[in-house]
Amino acid sequence: MTKIVELHHPLAKHHLAILRDQSTPPVLFRNQIRLLSMLLAVRATEDLSLTEFEIETPLTRMRVSKIAQRIAIIPILRAGLGLVEPILELIPDAEVWHLGMYRDEQTAKPIEYYCKLPKDNPAQVGFVLDPMLATGGSIRVAVAALKRWGVTDVRVLSVIAAPEGISALHQEHPDVSIYVGAVDQELNDQKFIVPGLGDAGDRIFNTRA
């Protein structure tokens, strides 16, 4: 069964409000993406396995813990890049692999143009990063690629999601966990999330027409 975690923390709501505002400039938009990425990462990592070892503090020896699992971060180009750096600050030893996809404007289906996943030695946990889970097409392709690699624990991190995308991802990959800042109302006829926040990639990289 798909695990869906929606952030209800006051800070998440605060930063989402700024993110959604069409008057928010790119530099502030990027900062809100950064802050929300960290909040999502904290929730998405709270059940990771730990291993214990000893260190010497300035006063004595003690046993401490560190993350035991090998983690891969997989941003979907290009908008997913906006979530990478803040998560790497929290998990500096994580690997970063890239998947490139764009949406066909006629069919709203994803077209893959780049895949940089190895063929063996899979990570134990994979985080798929995409600010928007709209139809879920690109994310479903990414999840399938991770599973072909051999990753058995796949988690999706998105800033906002549409119910239709969550349902489609659940039907195809019911074992995948979804961490999202907010679940919005619906997709419109053009398959954009409503109320949404516009095109995340364009707003992150300041490429709006």
Q: What averages of pLDDT result for each successive group of 10 residues across the chain (209 residues)? A: 88 95 94 95 94 95 94 92 93 91 70 80 95 92 92 96 94 95 92 90 84
| Active-site residue, from 34, 70, 78, 103 | 103
Structural domain count of the chain: 1
Task: Confirm whether 56 is domain-assigned.
Answer: no
Q: Which of 1, 5, 34 is nearest to 182 (CA)?
A: 5
pTM: 0.91
Alpha-carbon distance values, 204 to 6, 28, 29, 52, 199 (Å): 22, 9, 6, 39, 9
At residue 115, the pLDDT reads 80
Task: Confirm whether 58 is domain-assigned.
Answer: no
User: How far is Cα 12 from Cα 26, in angstroms, rounded to an integer?
Assistant: 19
At residue 112, the pLDDT reads 75
Told to judge if 93 belongs to the known catalytic residues of this protein, a careful annotator would answer no
Told to judge if 107 belongs to the known catalytic residues of this protein, a careful annotator would answer yes
At residue 108, the pLDDT reads 63
| Active-site residue, from 51, 107, 152, 207 | 107
User: How far is Cα 13 from Cα 168, in angstroms, rounded to an integer?
Assistant: 25
Task: Confirm whether 172 is domain-assigned.
Answer: yes
Task: Confirm whether 42 is domain-assigned.
Answer: yes
Task: Confirm whether 138 is domain-assigned.
Answer: yes
Told to judge if 47 belongs to the known catalytic residues of this protein, a careful annotator would answer no
User: How far is Cα 80 from Cα 97, in angstroms, rounded to an integer?
Assistant: 11
Residue 98 DSSP label: -
Task: Confirm whether 83 is domain-assigned.
Answer: yes
CATH number of the domain at 25, please. 3.40.50.2020
| Active-site residue, from 2, 34, 70, 202 | 202
At residue 1, the pLDDT reads 59
User: How far is Cα 126 from Cα 101, in angstroms, rounded to an integer?
Assistant: 18
Q: Please, are residues 160 and 193 in contact by the beta-carbon 8 Å criterion? A: yes
At residue 109, the pLDDT reads 72
Q: Are strands 3-6 and 99-103 parallel, antiparallel or unpaired?
A: unpaired
Residue 16, domain extent: 3-51+64-205
User: How far is Cα 88 from Cα 70, in angstroms, rounded to an integer?
Assistant: 13
Task: Confirm whether 59 is domain-assigned.
Answer: no
At residue 119, the pLDDT reads 84
Task: Confirm whether 124 is domain-assigned.
Answer: yes
